[in-house]
Amino acid sequence: MLVGVGKRWRRMAHVALLAGVLAGCAEATDEDGKAPAKTSAGASAAVSGDDGTVARSGGTIGAEGSACELPVTFDIAKGWTAEAVESGTASDSATSGSGDLEDELAEEVADSLLRQGPVTAACEVDAKPAGNIGYLRVWTGKAGSASARSVLEAFVGAEEQASKAKYHSFKAGDVVGAEVEYLYTSAILEETKKERALAVTTPDGPVVLHLGGMDTEEHEAMLPALELAKRTLRVS
């Protein structure tokens, strides 16, 4: 598990604290049998969505020396940029004696934002350079006997505003995992949007890939990028 909080996460934690807000190779199909995105044949082929959006491979992350070193590797969409989530924890600040109470509280908020259920944020892949508003985030956990489905259920269960979760399994090469589509309702914005996540288990622990987005429209426009990641997902 990576330690530390990146600058972006620190800023987000500070804003949340000061505002008094804590926001909180087979193709998979939904429970109704509808494919979430169409994939063409060939390992390097583009993935296109029902709305005409296309995700072409922009490189692979996860391996040693890549932007994010993970227990898995997968392709990210062209134009998207990956960055590891790293740096100290709340306890580091407290024990060092540096920073005031506000800083320590901000660190604790950041710590809570970095954990969801049994996994911790390890990498974020930003869609903004490609023209979308959202992230494909990667979360990792400790090795154990939990199944991909149970890890995913715990991940979604830790999101208080999640509802109407639909789970199914998927297979990509030799990798078998679980996927979920659900609704998230923002108590602040009073809006509901679609989100999706998938999980696999590895000898080094479970890995969850989560795709959010500013709203449902942005989320659906980014789905081909998640499908590309899923189709190319391999255990390192």
Give residue limits of the domains in the chain. Answer: 25-86+117-235
- Residue 227: exposure state from Cβ atoms within 10 A (0-12, 13-18, ≥19): buried
Give the pLDDT confidence of 137-171 residue by residue, as tens digits. Answer: 999 999 999 999 999 999 999 998 999 999 999 99
pLDDT value for 88:
47
Rounded Cα distance, 101 and 106, in Å: 9
For residue 133, give the nearest of 23, 231, 211 by alpha carbon.
211
pLDDT value for 189:
76
Write out the CATH class of domain 25-86+117-235: alpha beta
Which DSSP letter does residue 32 get? Answer: T
The pLDDT confidence band at residue 186, using thresholds 50, 70 and 90, is confident
- Per-residue CA distances from 190 to 23, 161, 184, 193 (Å): 12, 11, 10, 10
Find all residues with CB under 8 Å of 43, minimum gap 6, and list them. Answer: 232
Average pLDDT (16-24) is 33
Average pLDDT (53-64) is 90
Give the pLDDT confidence of 99-134 residue by residue, as tens digits. Answer: 567 766 666 666 667 999 999 999 999 999 999 999
Which DSSP letter does residue 23 get? Answer: -
- Provide the whole-model pTM: 0.74
Structure tokens at 142: 């400790």
3-class secondary structure, 231: helix
Rounded Cα distance, 193 and 185, in Å: 6
Kindly report the average pLDDT of the chain as a whole number: 78
- Residue 174: exposure state from Cβ atoms within 10 A (0-12, 13-18, ≥19): exposed
